Amino acid sequence: MNRVLSLRFLFALAVALVGAYALYASLEWPFRTALFPRLIGIPLLALSLLEMLLSLVSAEKEREGHAVDFEMTTDVAPPLARRRTLAILSWIVGFLAFILVFGFPIAVPLFVFLYLKLVGKEGWVLTLSLTLVSWLTMEGLFNRLLHLPFPEGWIFALWS
Amino acid sequence: MFESFVEGLFVVLQWQPFLIMLMGIALGFWVGLLPGLGGSTTLALMLPFIYKMTPVEAFAFLLGMHSVVSTTGDITSVLFGVPGEGTTAATILDGHAMAKKGEAGRALGAALMSSLVGALVGAFALALAIPVVRPLVLTFGAPELFMLAVVGIAFISSLSGQGGRALLRGFLAGLVGLVFAMVGQDPQAGVQRFTFGQLYLWGGLDLVPVLVGLFAIPEIVDLAVRGTSIAGELPQGNLGKGAWEGVKDTFRHFWLTIRCSLVGTFIGIMPGLGGGVAQWIAYGHAVQAARDLKEREGFGKGDVRGVLGPGAANNSKEGGALIPTIAFGVPGSSAMAILLGAFFLQGITPGPDMLDKHLTLTFSMVWTMVIANVVTVAVSFFFLNQLAKLTLVRGAVLIPFILFLAFIGSYTSNNHLGDLVVFLACGSLGYVMIRCGWPRAPLVLGFVLGKIAENNFYISTIRYGSSWLLRPVVLILVLLTLAVIVYPLIRMRNRDATPEKAA
Amino acid sequence: MERFSANKRNAWMGWTLLLLAIFVGTPALVFGAAAYEGKVLTIVVGYKPGGGYDRYARLAAKYLPKHLPGNPAVVVQNMPGANSIISANHLYGVAKPDGLTIGTFNNGLATAQLTKVAGVQYDLTKFAWIGSLASDAVILTIRSDLPYKTVDDMRKAKEIVIGTTGPGSSTHDFPSILKEFVGFNFKLVPGYSSSADVMLAIERKEVDGRAGSYDSIKPFIDRGLVRPLIRSRTASPGIETLPVDEDLAKDAKGKAIMVVASASTKIYRPYVAPPGTPADVIKLLRDAFAAMAKDKEFLAEAKKTKLSIDFTPAEESLKVVREVLNQPPEMAQEIGKYIKFGE
């Protein structure tokens, strides 16, 4: 049961679904449009089903399956790690929400301020000066100098 | 030939272009450092000033800026795990891992020194290759480019792990990358593929938000989970004097650095392969250099060779990338298009003459790149050990800034909220891949090479029918692909036969 | 030496201005009176920095302040995506019609509207048109070492391989219409990543020729790599005498499609303000563009940077747009078969 719900199994399942969708979508395309998505979709579906199966039946050998890539830390106790992961992921999604609601120029210093104060529990001097730095970079460099088109936050749309 | 080579150096060393070049370098320094400040945006902003300069000054300014960007981009990649430029993401894998081991100084030293070696080797290789460079470029038609893309994807997928299971995941990741490459309007029939009715996706996924998400988010999560500084609670003794160690590393693995530089130059010369490819192939080559499986497993976890390879290739490719622009008048990027404009201002039409009549000018451009790198590396070395101390700053202070850079860096690639969605989606993907032990490098390479493979496949078949399969270079590349796929399998069997050796 | 110090001074001034811009840039206020005093005018560009649309806009940003009352600051904003449909939709539906935002987008957007491309929210005829800064001649060129010197030579050819970047660009649509309605034996090879890439394919003899904007092919004609053979109806100095595609068409339908395909090349760099921009403000903008297009300094800089200027006023630009859009539905469908709009 545990293995069925393991992340590895679910991820392989998700990738298999992507492969299946690619094949399905290619059904209504002209041949040349569809050829490559099919050439990719078929092995993708097959290999991810294999990966799914493998994560079901066999426990991994000790030395197998190490990717040439970094691995998440294992120094932190799992419950604490889970709590912290959840916290940081909500902060990241929260940043996006800030950007949507307030627009970039306000969201950035606001986020920096809140994160430093709530998570870092930093002192006022450090918090405020770093918030100012982030505001200056945002406003001076990206807004004034580069004139990036930042969409207005939703609350300003409510205003008018 | 040799005279032009020397003369070109003196052209650069005149003090007026030299000063302007320094300004370009200063600007490029920051552009490289900050994700979200891209080379082409800055060039566009600088246009009014560029057109006021004399042509030689304009070249010095543009190239000075251009060649520094990928050097300082490595610094951001190493320190924060956020790619400073789209072309410096491969350095993250081992560079940032080293920073987490308290070796940020060493990683930075290695990145910068290998950049310098790369720039030098690139320049000299180019100088030697000039007589054959036109035929070389013309040999690589659509069929050859298609096969190069195939070799690239096979190569990196097969290197990304050990054991059958890891190989399986390597290929899976590569295939996912290829699916990413299919997004957008297909150039054969003009059909929108996987765009889900979003205008934003018409042009396909953008490299920058994909890379920033894939690499930055897992690192940020890891940093938050550890609840420490980037370098953790390690003894801080060698942090402050690591840069020199990195320089020594470059010479310890000198031949690897040289080989990766040559790989970079070659990929740079190939038109249409794009800036993102060289570093990943070089990374693959560095991994391949591992003597045994245990060593190979150390990659991605802070092996200095994983920094040297992409660091060198990154800079050596710039010299090669000049070739299509100057020898054929065909710009490979918007930076090069602006450079082309500078040629027209001088009344020179780039073309075969550049390798002949105007050879001195060509070499002066190569020298500009070399000198710009020498200056940058020299200046940076004063800061490196200070910069390395950033990895001791409390994670909670760094995280909001890293996130800010990641968000703005993604957003500026299209100035569209869709960039942020792609960034977060790829961030989650990257996180899950790490948790499941899937390598990310094949995904990136599949993504950057997918379009190239598809387009050149169609060009080849429409133009040549099936006869392109018999072209000599294509045959060689087919053999190479087979070797690349079969080799790790053979190695695996050998390992099974002698298990005690691998352990 | 003198020249250098002047350059250096300019450069330093530039830097100082940049720094000033960071710290004291003035925020855009709501437009009230007719004057632009102390305001910021934004030009929205539908492409990334560095491309043709962007370079024209940045040139305009530099010279427009001089010709607008109150000398406002003019800034360029890039809003790339979907071949500039995103920016057109933004200008149509989101940007405030206060005269402080104008924009430039693909000249083929009329075709996209005509053929009802998914995602199009704008109606080109409802924009407050300012005009177009340039026109563009589309030409077909063939490698010079091939024996095709005239249209007749080409007709006799067994097969001519044309490299293209894919449906939706003039490199593809122009030769594909010629193939269909003149009867050339073209073999179209789509898939090159940029028109520069096609040029390289010509160089290595992978393809025999390409079509595209005259401005971008001119250096290669001058170098003797390719020779021009056919042009669309909008001419440019130097290629006036080339045969025009419309005159070669076999039938009326072909001719009509060619007319629509090339109509928008007259408004190669269109500039519009959002629908509903007050008439007095529009007049200021139109006058400013017209005056700028005659400004000697502006023209000199444009020439130096290889941006050709051929100003078309608002009324005429709108006429071109209407000409494209007033096709009967069955014609629109036919056109959609040959002219695709896309990235």
Q: Domain containing C313: what range?
A: 30-134+268-338
If you measure CA to CA, which chain B residue comes closest to C89? B199
pLDDT at B363: 85
Question: What pLDDT digit, counting tens, does each position of C262-309 carry?
Answer: 888 889 999 999 999 999 899 999 999 999 999 999 998 888 777 889
Q: Picking from A91-95, B82-86, B280-284, C97-101, which range would have the lowest pLDDT averaged per residue?
A: B82-86
Measured between beta carbons, the chain A residues lying within 8 angstroms of B159 are 68
Question: What pLDDT digit, counting tens, does each position of B436-481 carry?
Answer: 889 999 999 999 899 889 999 999 999 998 899 999 999 999 999 8
pLDDT at C32: 43
DSSP track, C23-70: HHPPPP----SS--TT-EEEEEESS-TTSHHHHHHHHHHHHHHHHSTT
Residue B159 pLDDT grade (very low, low, confident, very high; cuts 50, 70, 90): confident
Compute φ and ψ for C55, nearest 5 degrees: -70, -40
3-state helix, strand, coil in chain B (%, to 5): 80, 0, 20
C48 and C108 in a single domain? The answer is yes
C273 within a domain of the structure (yes/no): yes
Compute φ and ψ for B154, nearest 5 degrees: -60, -45
CB pairs under 8 A between A and C: 20
The residue that leads in pLDDT, B187 or C311, is: C311
C219 within a domain of the structure (yes/no): yes
C144 and C257 in a single domain? The answer is yes
CB distance A147–C77 less than 8 Å? yes
C126 and C145 in a single domain? The answer is no
Pick among B15, B50, B145, B330 to test the C interface (most C CBs inside 10 A): B330
Measured between beta carbons, the chain C residues lying within 8 angstroms of A140 are 22-23
What is the spatial distance between Cα B98 and Cα B93, in angstroms, rounded to a whole number? Answer: 9
Look at residue B331 and tell me whether its pLDDT is greater than 80: no
Of C23, C44, C76, the CB nearest to A140: C23
Of C22, C42, C77, the CB nearest to A140: C22
CB distance B415–C79 less than 8 Å? yes
C117 and C161 in a single domain? The answer is no
C18 within a domain of the structure (yes/no): no
pLDDT, mean of residues B16-28: 90
B336, two tokens? 């090069």
Measured between beta carbons, the chain A residues lying within 8 angstroms of B441 are 68-69
C121 and C152 in a single domain? The answer is no
Measured between beta carbons, the chain A residues lying within 8 angstroms of C105 are none
C209 and C256 in a single domain? The answer is yes
Closest to A155 measured CA to CA, from A75, A101, A91: A101
A-contacting chains (≥3 CB pairs under 8 Å)? B, C
Measured between beta carbons, the chain C residues lying within 8 angstroms of A144 are 21-23, 25
pLDDT at A62: 47
What is the spatial distance between Cα B310 and Cα B87, in angstroms, rounded to a whole number? Answer: 9
Output the CA torsion B440→B442→B445→B446 (10° steps). -110
Residue B186 pLDDT grade (very low, low, confident, very high; cuts 50, 70, 90): confident
Measured between beta carbons, the chain A residues lying within 8 angstroms of B97 are 70
pLDDT at B1: 72
CB pairs under 8 A between B and C: 169
CB distance C23–A147 less than 8 Å? no
If you measure CA to CA, which chain C residue comes closest to B455? C191
Look at residue B490 and tell me whether its pLDDT is greater than 80: no
Residue B345 pLDDT grade (very low, low, confident, very high; cuts 50, 70, 90): low
B87, two tokens? 């072309």
Compute φ and ψ for C142, nearest 5 degrees: -125, 145
pLDDT at B459: 93
Residue B503 pLDDT grade (very low, low, confident, very high; cuts 50, 70, 90): very low
CB distance C25–A141 less than 8 Å? no
Distance from CA of A71 to the nearest CA of C (A): 36
CATH of residue C209's domain is 3.40.190.10
Distance from CA of C279 to the nearest CA of B (A): 31
Tens-level pLDDT at each residue, chain A (160 residues): 456 668 889 999 999 999 999 999 999 899 989 999 999 999 999 999 999 998 888 665 544 445 677 778 878 888 999 999 999 999 999 999 999 999 999 999 999 999 999 998 889 999 999 999 999 988 888 888 778 888 888 888 776 5
Look at residue C343 and tell me whether its pLDDT is greater than 80: no
Average pLDDT, chain C: 86
Whether residue B17 contacts residue B372, with contact meaning beta carbons closer than 8 Å, is answered with no
Average pLDDT, chain B: 85
Find residue B184's DSSP bridge partners.
B193
Look at residue B495 and tell me whether its pLDDT is greater than 80: no
DSSP track, B238-283: TTTTHHHHHHHHHHHTHHHHHHHHHHHHHHHHSTTS-HHHHHHHHH
Is B415 at the interface with chain C, CB within 8 A? yes
pLDDT, mean of residues C204-220: 91
Look at residue C12 and tell me whether its pLDDT is greater than 60: no
Residue B210 pLDDT grade (very low, low, confident, very high; cuts 50, 70, 90): very high
Distance from CA of B166 to the nearest CA of A (A): 4
CB distance A148–C77 less than 8 Å? yes
A117, two tokens? 């104060």
The residue that leads in pLDDT, B103 or B37, is: B103
DSSP for residue A137: I
Whether residue A37 contacts residue A26, with contact meaning beta carbons closer than 8 Å, is answered with yes
HSE on the CB side for A103, CA within 13 Å?
16
What is the spatial distance between Cα A46 and Cα B134, in angstroms, rounded to a whole number? Answer: 43
Alpha helical stretches, state H, chain C: 2-24, 52-67, 85-93, 109-114, 151-156, 170-181, 195-203, 214-222, 245-248, 252-263, 279-294, 296-304, 314-325, 329-338
Whether residue B76 contacts residue B33, with contact meaning beta carbons closer than 8 Å, is answered with yes
If you measure CA to CA, which chain A residue comes closest to C27? A144
Q: Picking from B87-96, B98-107, B232-241, B411-420, which range would have the lowest pLDDT averaged per residue?
A: B232-241
If you measure CA to CA, which chain B residue comes closest to C47? B414
Residue at which a domain ends, from C245, C263, C281: C263
What is the spatial distance between Cα C198 and Cα C188, in angstroms, rounded to a whole number? Answer: 12
Question: What pLDDT digit, counting tens, does each position of C107-158 carry?
Answer: 888 888 988 888 899 999 999 999 999 998 899 999 999 999 999 999 999 9
Residue at which a domain ends, from C263, C291, C309: C263
Quote the percentage of chain B above a pLDDT of 70: 92
pLDDT at C4: 43
User: In 10 A of CB C253, how many CB atoms?
Assistant: 14
Q: Picking from A9-13, B43-47, B348-352, B395-399, which range would have the lowest pLDDT averaged per residue?
A: B43-47
Question: Residue ranges of the domains in chain A?
Answer: 7-57, 78-159
Q: Picking from B173-187, B356-370, C101-115, which range would have the lowest pLDDT averaged per residue?
A: B356-370
Distance from CA of A81 to the nearest CA of B (A): 5
The residue that leads in pLDDT, C31 or B316, is: B316
Alpha helical stretches, state H, A28-150: 31-57, 78-102, 104-114, 124-136
pLDDT, mean of residues B258-279: 86
What three-state secondary structure class fits C226? strand
Count of domains observed in chain C: 2
Residues 6+ apart with CB under 8 A from B237: none
Which helix (H) or strand (E) segment holds residue B355: the answer is none
What is the spatial distance between Cα C193 and Cα C198, in angstroms, rounded to a whole number? Answer: 8
Question: Which residues numbered 70-109 in A keep a CB inside 8 Å of some CB on B?
Answer: 70-73, 75-76, 81, 84-85, 87-89, 91-93, 95-96, 99-100, 104, 108
The residue that leads in pLDDT, B247 or B386, is: B247
pLDDT at C167: 84
pLDDT at B485: 79
A142, two tokens? 């990206």
The residue that leads in pLDDT, C100 or A3, is: C100
Of C119, C220, C304, the CB nearest to B51: C304
pLDDT at A160: 59
Measured between beta carbons, the chain C residues lying within 8 angstroms of B203 are 80-83, 343
Burial code of B389-398, b = ≥16 C-beta within 10 A, e = fewer?
Answer: ebbbeebbbb
CB distance A32–B432 less than 8 Å? no
B180, two tokens? 């990413």
Distance from CA of C273 to the nearest CA of B (A): 20
> Does the complex come out with an ipTM higher than 0.90?
yes
CB distance C79–A141 less than 8 Å? no
pLDDT at C45: 93
Quote the percentage of chain C above a pLDDT of 70: 89
Compute φ and ψ for C40, nearest 5 degrees: -120, 120
Of B93, B165, B188, the CB nearest to A70: B93
If you measure CA to CA, which chain C residue comes closest to B349? C219
pLDDT at B429: 96
Question: Residue ranges of the domains in chain B?
Answer: 2-229+238-497
What is the spatial distance between Cα B362 and Cα B335, in angstroms, rounded to a whole number? Answer: 17
pLDDT at B423: 96
C189, two tokens? 């090879």
HSE on the CB side for C253, CA within 13 Å?
11
Residue B410 pLDDT grade (very low, low, confident, very high; cuts 50, 70, 90): very high
Closest to C179 measured CA to CA, from C231, C254, C265: C254
CB distance C340–B190 less than 8 Å? yes
Measured between beta carbons, the chain C residues lying within 8 angstroms of B329 are 199, 219-220, 223
Question: What pLDDT digit, counting tens, does each position of B43-84 carry?
Answer: 777 777 776 777 778 888 888 888 888 888 899 999 999 988
Distance from CA of A120 to the nearest CA of B (A): 5
pLDDT at B433: 94
pLDDT at C2: 41
If you measure CA to CA, which chain B residue comes closest to A82? B225
